[in-house]
Amino acid sequence: MLVENCDIDNNDDDICLKAGRDSDGLRVNRPTEYIVIQNNITRRGGGVISFGSETSGGIRKVFAYHNRGIGTNEGVRFKSAKTRGGYVEDVLIAILSWRTCRWHSRSR
């Protein structure tokens, strides 16, 4: 999947990767994978790039390059619950910039 040259302005997670929820996600067991996110601008949302909170199927092989946040709460967010299971692996984030960002990164 390619997310490229977008200007996203919402009041939630701007670019958000998810992979199944709870027992249904574990049953299907299909990861979100081979994702390229590049040359995007995000505004006012929760995070420039967010992972989860639905992670039961796993998220892997993500490449994010040259993305910008303006007024987002965070740069990168990892969200999940211990009961959801799943994983996030093989993620490369390069040249991520933001202005007026509330936090740099946070894990819940």
The residues assigned a catalytic role are: 12
- What gap in Å lies between CA 24 and CA 35, rounded to an integer? 22
Dihedrals phi, psi of 11, to nearest 5 degrees: -115, 30
Does a cis peptide bond (omega within 30 degrees of 0) precede residue 53?
yes
